[in-house]
Chains A and B, each alone.
Chain A
Amino acid sequence: MLFNSLHFLLFLPVVLGAYAMLRHRGQNRMLLIASYVFYGWWDERFLFLIALSTVVDYWCGLTIGRGRLTGRQRLVASSWLALSALCFVTINWSAVRLGGPEGIGVDWSTLIDPLGGWALCGALGLVAIANLFHGLVSRLDEDRRRKIGLCTSIVVNLTVLGVFKYFNFFVGSAEDALQGLGFDAQLLRLDIVLPVGISFYTFQTMCYTIDVYRGKLPPTARFLDFALYVAYFPQLVAGPIERPNELLPRLQNPRHFELAQIQRGLYLILLGLFKKVAIADGVAASVYSIYNSTGTVGGLDVAAATLLFCVQVYCDFSGYSDIARGVSKLLGIDLVTNFRAPFFSRSPAEFWQRWHISLSTWLRDYLFMPLVFLDPRRRIYLALMITMLVGGLWHGASWNFVLWGGFHGLLLVVHAVYRDRWPAPDPRAVRRWRVVAGIALFFAINWYSFLLFRAGSFAQIFDFTTALATGAGGMHLSMKLPALSAMLGIPLLLGLDLLEYATGDALAYRRVPAWARGALYAFLIFVIIMGTGNEPTEFIYFQF
């Protein structure tokens, strides 16, 4: 279900209404059902993968932290997986008629999906194996038991991610490589659709078991709380990627409501819709007109379209994060800040402290740090390059994302070497013109990196870079102009981000006089309404 859809407009009040009437435990059960409905709206079959991640990590967490599960815990987890396989994959719900000219009925010949039957057998097999080996694992010494729990979680999650997101990519790349060597290779491809937001929830659930292993938090005994942590709908499909020690206690404890929190939540939803509907959707067609053009493209077109793509991807993604945080605030649950005026960064290090913060900190804590401290030679720059290449690949199964990650990795290494020689001055002592020049210089470099991010092929990267370098096409601009909502919205967004950057406070907009704040809200609503005329596009980060 999309945040900017009519379905969500009906879904949210129903959820909020039910939430207000229920007590804490009831709220959690209702939120879990709502989250499964929200995700199942795209395709209910992928709910099985969420259930699989949930059960495996719940089981592994308890194995690591407590050594064993109680009979009841095993029964609940096993039933959850088996029922999920049955309800979400085995039964073909389109065979059930709820009306129409033939009335209510069931087409028995297609009710059971053959592939789904295998999934059910697989789930039952997994449950049987887990229960069979449970006693054996619980009798092992603590160190081995903890390692088995951690490895099982990582292997299962990365296998799910690998099969559904990267299998065809790696097979295709291997085919290309073999063909390059003169072999006529035709390797197996899987006919699968990428499950929405799979990279987000696998990372979120995996860091739970890692944190339990590191002793950062105790394992969660209550299955439904953990299932809600994995599937919590505001941030399920595009983040922010929440840490278990932050989100789990908020779900496990009763929530308290304050008027200020609801006001902030509504503002964030408004701001997110403004970024997505008025700006991101308003410039999407302009970017498309150049990056999907079949003709020759000039340097000015590439420059302008890439600039607008920076705006598009920022508004699209940070807009989603804002709505997610806003919706969650209405439920009394705070989510982490994911963006802090990122285009005002003066260095790659600062950029990654401001852009997709929940991913960059995840990569730092769960990939970069282990890479450095597991390596006896402590090679920081090698670990950094690997981290950024993986971070690039996380965005999508395509080499241009790897290139983008590598480009940023290189920037970070160069910057770190530079800072080793010339340490950072005290920020308070830096003159204003140097700050402005630093922001402009790094933006110019970063702007080019988004060409790598958006390009459809290496050939396009080469052509567009050549066009930029040679200035081909002169001053002729053939790009489709952005929608009016975007042209009005971009200066306002720039102003809001500048205010946040200058004050270091995301709530700085509240300090302006009431009349100006009223005018701001009215303008946001006006531009959003104007933006509803733009061709809606799916959130870019869903594909990640």
Chain B
Amino acid sequence: MTDVFRTLFRQPALELHDDLTSEDVAGWDSLKHVSLMIHLEQELGIKFHSHEVVRLTNVGELRSLIREKFARQPAGQA
């Protein structure tokens, strides 16, 4: 996940923590947010819904959502 953030925002030193929000990262607007979610989908092999994407407010919530997605997937697919 950190790699996806670093590549997308071109910030090799970016460190993720649960309280990190779009305000803290240069260029993290709604378009970039959608790109980020699509990159995560491809990287992690999961699918997001629009209502899940609009609800997120920080990296902690994003991590929880991804964990939820993995927990819901049948064993072996994650």
Contacts and interface: CB of A to CB of B under 8 A. Distances in A.
Contact of B34 (A214, A372, A424): A372
Contacts of B34: 368-369, 372, 380
Contact of A384 (B31, B41, B49): B31
Given A373-B49, A373-B50, A380-B38, A419 B55 contact: no
Q: How large is the interface on B (under 10, 10 to 19, 20 to 34, 35 or more residues)?
A: 10 to 19
A374 B50 contact: yes
B72 interface: no
Contacts of B38: 372, 378, 380
Contacts of B54: 364-365, 369
A416 B53 contact: no
Given A380-B34, A380-B35, A424 B27 contact: yes
B10 interface: yes
A423 B9 CA distance: 7
A369 B31 contact: no
Contacts of A423: 9-10, 26-27
B3 interface: no
B31 A427 contact: no
Nearest to B47: A373
B50 A370 contact: yes
Interface string B25-54: 011011110110010010000001111011
A425 interface: yes
A423 B31 CA distance: 13
A424 B31 contact: no
A426 B26 contact: yes
Task: Kindly name the residue among A215, A373, A374, A424 whose own CB sees the greatest number of chain B CB atoms within 10 A.
Answer: A373
Nearest to A373: B50
Contacts of A374: 50
Contacts of A158: none
Contacts of A337: none
A373 B27 CA distance: 21
B4 to A, nearest CB: 14
Interface in A390-447: 412, 416, 419, 423-427
A349 B29 contact: yes
Task: Kindly name the residue among A353, A374, A423 whose own CB sees the greatest number of chain B CB atoms within 10 A.
Answer: A423
Contacts of B41: 378
Given A380-B34, A380-B35, A423-B9, A369 B53 contact: yes
B62 to A, nearest CB: 15
A370 B32 CA distance: 16
A64 to B, nearest CB: 13
A374 B9 CA distance: 25
16 contacts: A214-B51, A368-B30, A369-B50, A369-B51, A369-B54, A370-B50, A372-B34, A373-B49, A373-B53, A380-B35, A380-B38, A416-B31, A419-B32, A423-B27, A425-B26, A426-B26
Interface of B: 9-10, 26-27, 29-32, 34-35, 38, 41, 48-51, 53-55
Interface of A: 214-216, 349, 353, 364-365, 368-370, 372-374, 378, 380, 384, 412, 416, 419, 423-427
User: Which 6 residue pairs are nearest across A and B when measured between Cβ atoms?
Assistant: A424-B27, A369-B50, A214-B51, A373-B50, A423-B10, A370-B50
Given A214-B55, A373-B53, A426-B26, 6 more contacts: A215-B51, A349-B31, A365-B50, A372-B38, A378-B38, A423-B26
